[in-house]
Amino acid sequence: MREINDRAVLQVKEKALAIRRHIVTMLSAAGSGHTGGSLSASDIVACLYFWEMNLDPANPDWENRDRFVLSKGHAAPVLYAALAERGFFPTEQLMTLRKLGSPLQGHPDMRKLAGVEASTGSLGQGISWAVGMALAGKIDKKPHRVYVMVGDGELEEGMVWEASMAAAHYKLDNLLLFVDHNGLQIDGKISEVLSPEPISDKFRAFGWHVIEVDGHHIPDIMEALNQARRVKGQPVVIVAATTKGKGCSFMEDRVEWHGTAPNREEMDKALAELV
């Protein structure tokens, strides 16, 4: 288990703030992209990249590295910001998001950017990919762990539940799933579009160990990650209650910020709050 202390919590909080600032600035420069779901995932991703996962940016293909799959691939800005802050590439490159020829495309492309473990974007496929990675690790008796994040709207995809059934059947305790449970998707509230509730009960029924957490409270996320490491014989899902657009008051819990980039004025307003 990793130690949770004030210094570690402060470091992760600072990285989460830096990630949010990167998200806002790169999306404003791009003029398009997904802001709300990138911001809602920032605290979780910061915990993974700056406290939990075993990585070596100087050797991104290291065999025993932990893997992270962003199944909700439209939230690529949060992944790119974390990779840049972690040292996989210069932070200046973030401003090339969605530009022609840039490796930072609208959805992650593992062929073009070191640190990206799976090319995702077609919802449901990322968790299926992660289950395959975890199963391969089990078969090969490798020490690494596989982390994956889905959006709550993504749970409407049938292949999510096929993958979940397989993960439990093969007892993939080297697999950890985060559900970014912000309650909104592109067409509105998940409760109105096609409700996946009760999310926790569904995963329990599929044979997963379930942990519920405030997805913006860093110490609680850390404790959940430590708890997940103690679970044996089951995959673990952390259902994280989050807020779409977290950190920018005028974006929070607003469905219109799902796939909208801030203009210059909105960027400046957001950055004034992200301090």
Burial 127-161 (b: 16+ CB within 10 A, else e): bbbbbbbbbebbeeeeebbbbbbbbbbbbbbeebb
Give the count of domains, the chain: 1
Instruction: Give the rounded percent of residues in the chain with a pLDDT score beyond 90.
Output: 99
Contact 130, 118 (CB under 8 A): yes
Cβ neighbours of residue 219 closer than 8 Å, sequence gap 6 or more? 4, 9
Instruction: State the pLDDT confidence band at 6, using cuts at 50, 70 and 90.
Output: very high
H/E element holding 161? helix 158-169
Q: Residue 244 is part of a domain; what is its CATH number?
A: 3.40.50.970
Q: Is residue 204 part of a domain?
A: yes
Contact 134, 146 (CB under 8 A): yes
- List beta partners, residue 211: 238
Q: Is residue 88 part of a domain?
A: yes
pLDDT digits (tens, 9 = 90+) for 121-180: 999 999 999 999 999 999 999 999 999 999 999 999 999 999 999 999 999 999 999 999
Instruction: State the pLDDT confidence band at 197, using cuts at 50, 70 and 90.
Output: very high
Instruction: State the pLDDT confidence band at 45, using cuts at 50, 70 and 90.
Output: very high
Q: Is residue 1 part of a domain?
A: no
pLDDT digits (tens, 9 = 90+) for 17-41: 999 999 999 999 999 999 999 999 9
pLDDT exceeds cutoff 90 at 1: no
Reported residue count of the chain is 275
- 118 phi and psi angles, rounded to 5 deg: -155, 140
What pairing do the DSSP bridges indicate for beta strands 236-241 and 175-181?
parallel
Q: Is residue 40 part of a domain?
A: yes
> What does the pLDDT read at residue 113?
97
- Residue 107 is part of which domain span? 6-273
